Chains A and B, each alone.
Chain A
Amino acid sequence: DADVTQTPRNRITKTGKRIMLECSQTKGHDRMYWYRQDPGLGLQLIYYSFDVKDINKGEISDGYSVSRQAQAKFSLSLESAIPNQTALYFCATSDLEGLQFFGPGTRLTVL
């Protein structure tokens, strides 16, 4: 079984819609992250959380929000999706050494 899971794996939506991407982990890590991947830009950090009560903005948080419902769950929301949010989104967890474990990704297309 995968340690980090993401749902949905693919989503097509329209401009202005609210979208939630979910991430669950069974690794028991306190630290969780959301990244987006765009061709030629690598991975950019959207939000991160070091424990259930801790939420921090990353490099590109505008237009996104997150919720850390439990140690194992970290959700990413797009309140009003726009086409330039079309990307591949990855959730990750990390241990205390900073070693990160990634989920399978969610491919989001905003029309």
Chain B
Amino acid sequence: AQSVSQHNHHVILSEAASLELGCNYSYGGTVNLFWYVQYPGQHLQLLLKYFSGDPLVKGIKGFEAEFIKSKFSFNLRKPSVQWSDTAEYFCAVNPDSWGKLQFGAGTQVVVTP
């Protein structure tokens, strides 16, 4: 079955550490890719998106993601995390350009002071 896979369910790291969250998808053809963040008790907010063009995408709050078509991957990175980055992160794929998103299971990130 076609799917979106996030490699880690839980990540714990210290402030100033680097973060990389993996995301792979199994849809063929052209896809739109997204990373959403959900802070504790809040709704999902868009971090960044990729539709076309430069495969290295910069988002809000210092996050970036790299689209590697040959690997069907869209990994999220941040060079130096802060305590306020504690949240759940969701990768999502729009595989058919009709607005329906397929979400990964999410990665819970905890940043310790």
Contacts and interface: CB of A to CB of B under 8 A. Distances in A.
Interface of A: 31, 33, 35, 40-45, 48, 50, 58, 90, 92, 94-100, 102-105
Nearest to A103: B43
A97 B101 CA distance: 11
Contact of A40 (B42, B49, B92, B105): B105
Q: DSSP majority for the A interface?
A: strand
21 contacts: A33-B99, A35-B103, A40-B9, A42-B106, A43-B90, A43-B101, A44-B103, A50-B98, A50-B99, A94-B101, A98-B32, A98-B94, A98-B97, A99-B34, A99-B49, A100-B44, A100-B46, A100-B92, A100-B99, A102-B43, A102-B44
Interface of B: 9, 32, 34, 36, 42-46, 49, 51, 90, 92, 94, 97-101, 103-106
Best-buried of A44, A48, A96, A99 by chain B (most CB within 10 Å): A99
A31 B106 CA distance: 24
A30 B32 CA distance: 19
A42 B90 CA distance: 7
Nearest to B91: A42
Nearest to A45: B100
B95 to A, nearest CB: 10
B43 A100 contact: no
Contact of A42 (B32, B97, B104): B104
A97 B42 CA distance: 24
Nearest to B97: A98
